[in-house]
Amino acid sequence: MSELQIGLLVLGGSIVALVYGFNVVQEWRFRRRMRQSFVRTQDDPLLTVPKNNVRDGVRADRLEPVLLDAGRVDLPEPFEVELPQDEAAPIAPDAPSAVKDEDAALDSADHQALVVAMLDPSLDFICEVVFHQPLELVNMPRFNVAKRVQVIGRTEKGLWKPAEVLPGIRYKQINIGLQLVDRGGAVTEQELASFCQQVSHFAEEYGAAVSFPQRQQKLVAARELDRFCADVDVLIGLNIAPRLAIEGTRLRSFVESNGMQLEPDGAFHYLADSGNTLYSLMAADQMPFTLHTLLDNSFPALCLLFDVPRVAGGVEVFDRAIQFARQLAQEFDAQLVDDNRRLLTDVGLARIRDQLKTIYGSMDDRGIAPGSVAALRLFA
């Protein structure tokens, strides 16, 4: 073999090696970009929201048949204010028509009222951060607090919207609200002081001016509101005790035919048109309902739950819950009993109904309608 042939072979091998190496490097770069694209750069609110607890503060007298203790049952996840779909979709920076469409949607009086109502001075400690000139947010503020925080912003065009980091959206002001009361109780002085420090630090990063409500007045108001909430925070459980354990497949068929649906919390829920729970059904031993457990298990007793302050429709919905409990009892040869296995009579149920009227009257007098946005926030 001549030197020329050997040289060509070496050159060809070198070219093949270079091409192969180039492809390997390109593939590595592509994989690295893909991994970076899917790294979560901020907390997922659906994963970091704490689960609800029954109120830890002072409790009202229990209604028969039973008001459940904190360890008895997990309640639905905290209420989230939902905005129209066009508000939730990100806007491409190179789509001016989309920006115009969003401005038109934001400009509607109803939409502006909805956004502004996300923060309520009677429920929230609202801090106002005013920028010296309109600017884009580089990142959303994060607050290490136990209570719910919501942020809305006023754009350079004077329109309010839920604050978010978007190209081309510049804010003149953002309002940051810390919820004062929930089922964990009222915000403490230490929690409020820490929150104010965190807001001040955020404002300093942007060279913005910040103003706060009078802290002691808000703490006094929060404690008073928490006392009221404790007086009306009632969760009623109706126990269905059958003679024989109920087969899961038969139970599922019956409750679904009556409009209930299985939710991720392991209970069947009867939902209003709004998607909020009116009443729910769980196993008395707290075994979660799943497709697997319903297929392979029988249940010795059930519990129908009615979360009094979170239910719009009040007494009328309670009557429907009682009617459904009786249908369950008839279908599965069961009795309605209290926690001490005592039979629930019509007289006892009527007494509960009268007490509910008193509770709902107190809520209406306070201006917190059962099942309203305010009630869903306070009793979460």
pTM over 0.75: no
- The answer as to CATH 3.30.1400.10 being correct for domain 231-378 is yes
DSSP 310-334: G-TTHHHHHHHHHHHHHHHHHHTTE
* pLDDT in the model for residue 226: 98
User: pLDDT of 335-344, one tens digit each?
Assistant: 999 888 889 9
**24: part of which helix (H) or strand (E)?**
helix 3-37
Q: Is residue 164 helix, strand or coil?
A: coil
Kindly indicate the confidence band of residue 40, based on its pLDDT and cuts at 50, 70 and 90: very low
DSSP 67: B
Residues 145 and 195: beta-carbon distance below 8 Å: yes
CB 306 within 8 A of CB 324: no
Show me where the domains of the chain are located: 1-39, 85-117+122-212, 231-378
334, β-bridge pairs: 242
Position 161 scores a pLDDT of: 94
Tell me the average pLDDT of the chain.
Answer: 81
Three-state DSSP state, 282? strand
Provide the 10 A C-beta neighbour count for residue 44.
8
Which amino acid type is present at position 89?
A
User: Predicted confidence band at 107 (pLDDT cuts at 50, 70, 90)?
Assistant: low
Are the folds of 85-117+122-212 and 231-378 the same? Answer: yes
Query: What architecture (CATH level 2) is domain 85-117+122-212?
Result: 2-Layer Sandwich (3.30)
pLDDT band at 295 (very low <50, low <70, confident <90, very high): very high
pLDDT at 34: 37
User: Is residue 43 over pLDDT 90?
Assistant: no
Q: What is the 3-state secondary structure (H, E, C) of 190-255?
A: HHHHHHHHHHHHHHHHCCCEEECCCHHHHHHHHHHHHHHHHHHCCEEEEEEEECCCEEHHHHHHHH
Q: Cα–Cα–Cα angle for 163, 169, 173, nearest 5°?
A: 50
Q: Residue 340's pLDDT is what?
A: 83
Q: How many CB atoms lie within 10 A of CB 352?
A: 19
- If pLDDT is split at 50, 70 and 90, which confidence band does 39 have? very low
Q: In terms of pLDDT, which residue wins out, 269 or 53?
A: 269
Regarding predicted confidence, which is higher, 85 or 263?
263
Strand partners, 282: 303
